[in-house]
């Protein structure tokens, strides 16, 4: 039992490393070849994980082989548009200028009900509000509403918003984010002075952030709250 336990931990670490090397992508955004590799990795790992009589390298070597295949295909995807179209396919327009393309639906085996479901997932309640709907190669649906149905933006009113920049986490659960401090040109002394305005020190903070306008948000850990 202990052997199975240790093998499971080791294989988990190997798979975690492999998945990190494969890059960052949400499950719903996996390309077909990435999904296939992910399924095969899970299958290959399950056998040596539960069968102690099978050498653990029998699972690790094929997993590393799949990683190499993934890296090769990814490199090919980046260098060749033609290869990308063959491996990943091409986006298909399901709604063009407000009209559903029935041929496109048939080719993608997409029903009207599925299309409406995806539209609702994009906060579109009516087909009549859609100008374009594009089925991406990952299976996601990109929706472009008609001009009179889209959300208003400051530009519509001739307003030029101030530049907001990017917010930075300075403290997370009492741990100081040194790299983020350097990124904004500040140091620990400055951070301590800013956090002291909230009646605590950095190690007592649950979260401290700063936005592009220099506004500080700070929340104290529960055990230090008065």
Higher pLDDT, 43 or 181: 181
Longest dimension (CA), the chain: 71
Phi, psi for 21 (deg, rounded to 5): -70, -25
Tell me the Cα Rg of the chain. 25
Tokens of 163: 């530049």
Phi, psi for 96 (deg, rounded to 5): -120, 120
Quote the pLDDT of residue 28: 54
**pTM exceeding 0.75:** no
| List of E strands, 97-176 | 99-100, 130-135, 141-145, 168-172, 175-176
Assign 95 a pLDDT band (cuts: 50, 70, 90). Answer: very high
Quote the pLDDT of residue 30: 67
Do 168-224 and 92-145 have the same topology in CATH? yes
Quote the pLDDT of residue 187: 93
Assign 185 a pLDDT band (cuts: 50, 70, 90). Answer: very high
Strands 175-176 vs 168-172: parallel, antiparallel or unpaired: antiparallel
Top-level class of domain 92-145? alpha beta
Tokens of 35: 């999904």
Domain boundaries, the chain: 2-86, 92-145, 168-224
Give the span between the Cα atoms of 51 and 145, in whole angstroms.
53
Homologous superfamily (CATH) of 168-224 is: bsu07140 like domains (3.30.240.20)
Residue percentage of the chain with pLDDT more than 90:
35
Please determine, for residue 29, whether its predicted confidence score (pLDDT) is greater than 70: no
Assign 209 a pLDDT band (cuts: 50, 70, 90). Answer: very high
Please determine, for residue 192, whether its predicted confidence score (pLDDT) is greater than 80: yes
| 119-147 pLDDT per residue, tens | 999 988 888 899 999 998 878 899 999 98
What average pLDDT does the segment 185-203 reach?
Answer: 93
Distances (CA, A) of 59 to 36, 55, 113, 181: 17, 8, 42, 43
């Amino acid at each position: 039992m202990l052997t199975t336990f240790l093998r499971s931990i080791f294989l988990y670490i190997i798979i975690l490393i492999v998945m990190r090397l494969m890059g960052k992508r949400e499950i719903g955004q996996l390309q077909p070849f990435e999904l296939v590799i992910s399924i095969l990795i899970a299958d290959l790992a399950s056998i040596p994980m539960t069968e102690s009589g099978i050498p653990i390298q029998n699972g690790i070597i094929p997993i590393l082989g799949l990683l190499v295949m993934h890296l090769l295909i990814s490199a090919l995807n980046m260098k060749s548009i033609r290869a990308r179209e063959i491996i990943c396919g091409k986006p298909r327009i399901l709604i063009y200028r407000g009209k559903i393309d029935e041929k496109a639906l048939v080719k993608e085996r997409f029903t009207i009900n599925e299309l409406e479901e995806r539209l609702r997932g994009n906060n579109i309640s009516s087909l009549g509000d859609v100008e374009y709907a594009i089925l991406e190669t990952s299976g996601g649906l990109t929706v472009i509403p008609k001009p009179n149905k889209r959300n208003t933006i400051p530009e519509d009113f001739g307003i030029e918003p101030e530049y907001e920049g990017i917010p930075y986490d300075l403290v997370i659960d009492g741990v100081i984010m040194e790299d983020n401090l350097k990124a904004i040109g500040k140091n620990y002394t400055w951070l301590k002075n800013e956090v002291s305005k909230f009646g605590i020190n950095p190690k007592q903070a649950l979260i401290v952030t700063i936005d592009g306008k220099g506004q500080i948000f700070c929340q104290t850990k529960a055990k230090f709250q008065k």
